[in-house]
Amino acid sequence: MAGYLGNGQQNGSRQALNAYFAHGEQEEMVDLNGYRSPRNVNNSFDFSFQDGPASPAPASPKPVAPYRPGLQQKRYSPPDYSTGSGWLTTQTPRSSRGPDSFSDSPYDSRAASPTMYSQDVQQSHQSLAPLVKESASPGFAKDWVQSGSIARLNDRDDAEIWKGWKRWIFFFTPFLTFGNTAIYLLYLALRIYCIISAQNKAHTNFAGAWVFVAIEIAVMIPSLMHNCWTMMALKKRGRPRLRLTGNDCPTVDVFVTCCGEEDEVVLDTVRGALDQDYPTDRFRVIVLDDGKSSSLEAAVNQMTVNAPNLYYMAREKIPGKPHHFKAGNLNYGLEQVTLLPAGAGQFMAALDADMIPEQDWLRAVLPHLLVDPKMALACPPQLFYNAPASDPLAQSLDFFVHVIEPIKDALGVAWCTGSGYVVRREALEEIGNFPLGSLAEDVATSTLMLGKGWKTAYVHEPLQFGTVPEDYGGHLKQRTRWAIGTVDTAFKLKFCLWGDSVRLMSFAQRFSGFLYATLSLYTLLLTASLFAIPIILLWQKQLVAYANDDQLHWLIWACFATTLMNRLCEFALFIPAGYHTGQRGSRYQLWMSPYIALCIVRSFILPKWLGGQTQAFKPTGSLGSALNERDPQTRRNLFVRLRVILFNYMGLFHFAFVYVTLIAVVISSYRCFAISSGFKDTIICLITHAFWPPVTFLFIVTSLWTPVSYAIDPPSMPPREDLLTRDPKTGVAHPTNKSKKIAFGGQAAWFELEYTLATVVTVLVFVYSFFF
């Protein structure tokens, strides 16, 4: 791999990269001590960093005839490793390639893994300069911008998603967040002062109050860090809405990664990718099938009759040898496209198997890479068309893609969303292609690029729509895999605080990497804190201690101010995604925390001999068949759904927690009625025990009840085909406008009622405080 780095980079970077991409992985998803060398993509060869002279710079390609995909042989055959022949060992020099080549364009086509030279970026970007029509905005103005074919449709890429009065309210989010944080800190300080005063007066220890305030402080820490990040939204985001026009476009290899999905789901994505409003001689669609489905291969090969720029590839997987999942599949594709007669495109794009792109996807994303020579990657949000009404499991990701990612983009730290992204090949080459040994290769890839001084962009437009997991187990597996991958990446990158891999990161980029990894780890403490309220109440201790009525008045007033300020802050912050979406996300953090905490403990704390294993959540026992809980015709009966979710999917923990908490509330309340001598004493006892505003136990138990309520009354969804509009001639399908939006259902109404009642209780307690 000496050829990966230019002469000026080899000596200083080889040792660091060798240490970073550590070898020695013995089992998939178990040994994640370091990213593997990404050159072992086909399980038949493995290169490591070696000393030696850098490869000489390749000569500039000679002008040749235009690329015509239709002239190429369409049957893809994997190389024969046993004979030492095949594409991997007989790569044709670019200068000698025939007419089937990208080289007719002004874009210097590069292989996935050639020698990386520092001048490549500048040279390739100079060749792209004629594509730019005008400066997109002052922030994108460059001295090399010339007339060409990039149109600027709007000053903001998200102008059609949310606008008007919502933008004015969102403008106040940083100020509301600052005020909310300040008031909450004052409230906690007052709580501690009152506990100390009460102990000095009563000459006793209020252990329950100390435990309660300690839990409040512990839970406050991640919220405080997140608030600090949210306050950075004060920096306005000015990414415009751009479109690449005309036919003089860069060449792109579009990878559709799949592994065992239904053929029709994959084919719909392939049809959408082929239906791009983009010159067909400038892009290819390559289906990377890690499941090696013969039926999918046959269907794709049949489509190539009318789509000469479509290819099917399936890598060989040697039993017992790690294949590195999606990252390995992508790296395999990067390697193989260099061996096609046309060579590799200058840009690479990727789509998940179920993500149907809109027709202007490539023309919308590519301009953001063309206007900035250091822009490595641009990605749109992942949106979904099969999320059920109320989205009971919070599967939509709307809060992340509509609130968090735009803030990250404004600060120059946009994450790769995993699908729909377009990436510059030079940037991939500099980090050694997609890092292996990670369950979150998208986050790792964008983080490594930022660490090398590249930029990433988030294009806030609805450009792709996919499907969420349709069963409870699939959802758990997906989300716990994301959490483990994020934490694992953070460990390898030293939480983005130091190291050669993050050397060129800005403060905001380092803070972002540290924050979101820490928030995932914080599920351990959040899970432990859930037990605080029921334990204290069963312990017959009060949650709030005070020395006199004046202190109680101040505590209630401070709690009232904190609660209402928090409601205002939530409303303003959630606006881009929708208020109910934000509330779903808050509940999701609570009920998912035991699953994520369990997987983190198994992955990073427990040794192997005690059951430690780096993997996503796996159900216990054996499932006889799928629950099909969202299909009203084939779903299993209530008893089976409850048995599977409660026992196989650990829902019994949630069930037990809810009932223990409710029993604790009942016992504590009964005790208040039994020992209190009058109405005032009874009300104060209830307030300072279970019903301290904003009635936290109510929010916790309704959130933890989610798995049980889902098992009892799962949402019903129509067949996937009913959510699509399909062209009868071409077969191209896109989601209907209705399916792109999450309907307001009964569960959302119930939770809103519960949240409103908690706020009303807070207001009533505040008013009553003036009468005692």
CB 509, CB 412: distance < 8 Å: yes
pLDDT, tens digit (0-9, with 9 covering 90-100), for 294-308: 999 999 999 999 999
> What CA–CA distance (Å, rounded) separates 745 from 751?
10
> What CA–CA distance (Å, rounded) separates 29 from 9?
32
CB 565, CB 183: distance < 8 Å: yes
Angle at 53 between CA 47 and CA 59, to 5 degrees: 95
What integer is the mean pLDDT of 250-269? 95
- 320-330 per-residue burial string, b: 16 or more CB within 10 A, e: under 16: eebbbbbbbbb
- Calculate the average pLDDT of the chain: 79
What integer is the mean pLDDT of 735-739? 96
Q: What is the pLDDT of residue 617?
A: 66
State the DSSP H helix or E strand holding residue 384, giving kind and residue range, or none if neither.
strand 383-384
- 532-567 per-residue burial string, b: 16 or more CB within 10 A, e: under 16: bbbebbeeebbbbbbbeeebbebbbebbbbbbbbbb
Backbone angles phi, psi at 250, to 5 degrees: -70, 160
Q: What is the pLDDT of residue 516?
A: 80
pLDDT, tens digit (0-9, with 9 covering 90-100), for 39-62: 333 333 232 323 333 333 333 333
Q: What is the pLDDT of residue 522?
A: 84
Write the CB contacts of 751 (distance below 8 Å, at least 6 apart in sequence). 583, 584, 587, 702
Positive or negative, the CA dihedral 555, 559, 565, 566 is positive
Q: What is the DSSP letter of 140?
A: G
Beta bridge partners of 312: 287
Q: What is the pLDDT of residue 512?
A: 84
> What CA–CA distance (Å, rounded) separates 74 from 729?
23
Strand, coil or helix: what is 248? coil
What integer is the mean pLDDT of 384-401? 92
Q: Is the pLDDT of residue 64 over 80?
A: no
What is the residue-wise DSSP string for 194-240? HHHHHHHHHTS--HHHHHHHHHHHHHHHHHHHHHHHHHGGGS-----
Q: What is the pLDDT of residue 312?
A: 97
Beta bridge partners of 386: none
CB 619, CB 477: distance < 8 Å: no
For residue 186, give both structure tokens: 């004052």
> What CA–CA distance (Å, rounded) separates 156 from 404?
17
pLDDT, tens digit (0-9, with 9 covering 90-100), for 571-614: 888 888 887 777 788 888 889 999 999 999 988 888 877 766 76
CB 398, CB 462: distance < 8 Å: no
How many CA atoms, within 13 angstroms, populate the side-chain half-sphere of residue 561?
Answer: 18
> What CA–CA distance (Å, rounded) separates 31 from 22?
11
Query: Closest by alpha carbon to 185, among 561, 526, 476, 636?
Result: 561
> What CA–CA distance (Å, rounded) separates 410 from 402?
13
Q: Is the pLDDT of residue 223 over 90?
A: no
Instruction: Give the predicted TM-score (pTM) of the model.
Output: 0.80
Query: Closest by alpha carbon to 21, among 46, 44, 3?
Result: 46
Query: Closest by alpha carbon to 149, among 9, 20, 243?
Result: 243
Pairing relationship of beta strands 383-384 and 464-466 according to DSSP bridges:
parallel
> What CA–CA distance (Å, rounded) separates 590 from 375?
37
Q: What is the pLDDT of residue 620?
A: 56
Please, what's the largest Cα pairwise distance for the chain? 97
For residue 564, give both structure tokens: 């209402």
Backbone angles phi, psi at 766, to 5 degrees: -60, -45
For residue 256, give both structure tokens: 């559709």
Q: What is the pLDDT of residue 61?
A: 38
Full set of structural domains in the chain with CATH: 2-120+241-492 (3.90.550.10), 523-544+578-718+761-772 (no CATH)
Say how many C-beta atoms besides its own lie within 10 A of residue 266's C-beta.
Answer: 26
Determine what percent of the chain falls in helix, strand and coil, rounding each to the nearest 5: 50, 10, 45
Q: What is the pLDDT of residue 308?
A: 93
CB 693, CB 765: distance < 8 Å: yes
State the DSSP H helix or E strand holding residue 736, giving kind and residue range, or none if neither.
none
Strand, coil or helix: what is 726? strand
CB 411, CB 235: distance < 8 Å: yes
For residue 671, give both structure tokens: 């005790």
Q: Is the pLDDT of residue 672 over 70?
A: yes
Considering the chain, what percentage of its residues have pLDDT values greater than 90?
49
> What CA–CA distance (Å, rounded) separates 80 from 89?
10
Q: Is the pLDDT of residue 125 over 80?
A: no
- The Cα-based distances of 486 to 29, 199, 442, 516 in angstroms read 13, 44, 10, 8
CB 346, CB 251: distance < 8 Å: yes
Query: Closest by alpha carbon to 435, among 22, 4, 88, 46?
Result: 22
State the DSSP H helix or E strand holding residue 126, giving kind and residue range, or none if neither.
helix 120-128
Query: Closest by alpha carbon to 237, among 296, 173, 179?
Result: 173
- The Cα-based distances of 640 to 620, 635, 636, 647 in angstroms read 15, 10, 6, 10
Query: Closest by alpha carbon to 110, among 100, 89, 124, 97?
Result: 124
Q: What is the pLDDT of residue 437?
A: 77
Q: What is the pLDDT of residue 91?
A: 30
How many CA atoms, within 13 angstroms, populate the side-chain half-sphere of residue 566?
Answer: 23
> What CA–CA distance (Å, rounded) separates 187 from 217?
11
Q: Which long-range contacts (CB under 8 A, 24 or more apart) does 299-304 make?
A: 299/263, 299/267, 300/267, 300/270, 301/74, 301/75, 303/267, 303/270, 303/271, 303/274, 304/74
CB 733, CB 727: distance < 8 Å: yes
> What CA–CA distance (Å, rounded) separates 196 from 269?
63
pLDDT, tens digit (0-9, with 9 covering 90-100), for 641-655: 999 999 999 999 999
Angle at 369 between CA 366 and CA 374, to 5 degrees: 170
Q: Is the pLDDT of residue 664 over 90?
A: yes
